[in-house]
Homo-oligomer: A and B are copies of this chain.
Amino acid sequence: MNKLLIVGTVAFDAIETPFGKTNKILGGSAPYIGLSAAQFDIQSAIVSVVGGDFPIEYIKSLQEYNIDTSSIDVIVDEKTFFWEGRYLKNMNQRETITTDLNVLTKFKPNVPESFKDSDVVVLGNLSPKYQKAVISQITNKDALIILDTMNFWMDNNLDELLSVLSDVNVITINEEEARQLTGEYSLIKAAKKIFTMGPENVIIKKGEHGALLFSKGNMFFAPALPLESVFDPTGAGDTFAGGFAGYITQSKDFSFKNIKRAIIYGSAIASFSVEEFGPKRLFKLDKHQLENRLKVFKKLTEFEI
A residues with CB within 8 A of B: 89-91, 185-189, 206, 209-210, 212, 219-224, 226-230, 257, 260-261, 263-264, 294-295, 297-298, 300-305
B contact residues around A223 at 8 Å (CB) = 221, 223, 301
Bound-state Cα–Cα, A229 to B187, Å: 9
Assess the B301–A221 pair: CB atoms within 8 A. Answer: yes
B contact residues around A264 at 8 Å (CB) = 303, 305
A262–chain B nearest beta-carbon distance, Å: 10
* CB closest chain-B residue, reference A18: B185
A-B contact pairs, 18 of them (CB 8 A): A89-B185, A186-B227, A186-B228, A188-B226, A188-B227, A188-B228, A210-B210, A220-B300, A220-B301, A221-B224, A221-B301, A222-B303, A264-B303, A264-B305, A297-B305, A298-B303, A301-B301, A301-B303
Assess the B220–A303 pair: CB atoms within 8 A. Answer: yes
Assess the A226–B212 pair: CB atoms within 8 A. Answer: yes
Assess the A303–B219 pair: CB atoms within 8 A. Answer: no
A75–chain B nearest beta-carbon distance, Å: 42
Assess the A91–B294 pair: CB atoms within 8 A. Answer: no
Assess the B229–A186 pair: CB atoms within 8 A. Answer: yes
B contact residues around A295 at 8 Å (CB) = 305
Once A226-B212, A300-B219 are accepted as A-B contacts, the answer to whether A261 and B91 lie under 8 Å apart by CB is: no
Name which of A185, A226, A260 has the most chain B CB atoms within 10 A of its CB: A226
* CB closest chain-B residue, reference A192: B228
Copies of this chain: 2
Assess the B305–A90 pair: CB atoms within 8 A. Answer: no
Bound-state Cα–Cα, A287 to B92, Å: 40
Bound-state Cα–Cα, A224 to B226, Å: 16
Assess the B301–A305 pair: CB atoms within 8 A. Answer: no
A252–chain B nearest beta-carbon distance, Å: 17
Q: A89-B185, A91-B185, A260-B303 are in contact. List 10 more A-B contacts (CB 8 A).
A: A90-B185, A186-B226, A187-B226, A189-B228, A209-B210, A220-B301, A221-B223, A223-B301, A257-B303, A263-B303
B contact residues around A221 at 8 Å (CB) = 210, 223-224, 226, 300-301
Bound-state Cα–Cα, A57 to B295, Å: 52
A175–chain B nearest beta-carbon distance, Å: 9
B contact residues around A222 at 8 Å (CB) = 303
A136–chain B nearest beta-carbon distance, Å: 35
B contact residues around A210 at 8 Å (CB) = 209-210, 221
Bound-state Cα–Cα, A89 to B186, Å: 11
Bound-state Cα–Cα, A29 to B226, Å: 29
Bound-state Cα–Cα, A305 to B247, Å: 11
A95–chain B nearest beta-carbon distance, Å: 18
A273–chain B nearest beta-carbon distance, Å: 17
Bound-state Cα–Cα, A186 to B228, Å: 6
A190–chain B nearest beta-carbon distance, Å: 10
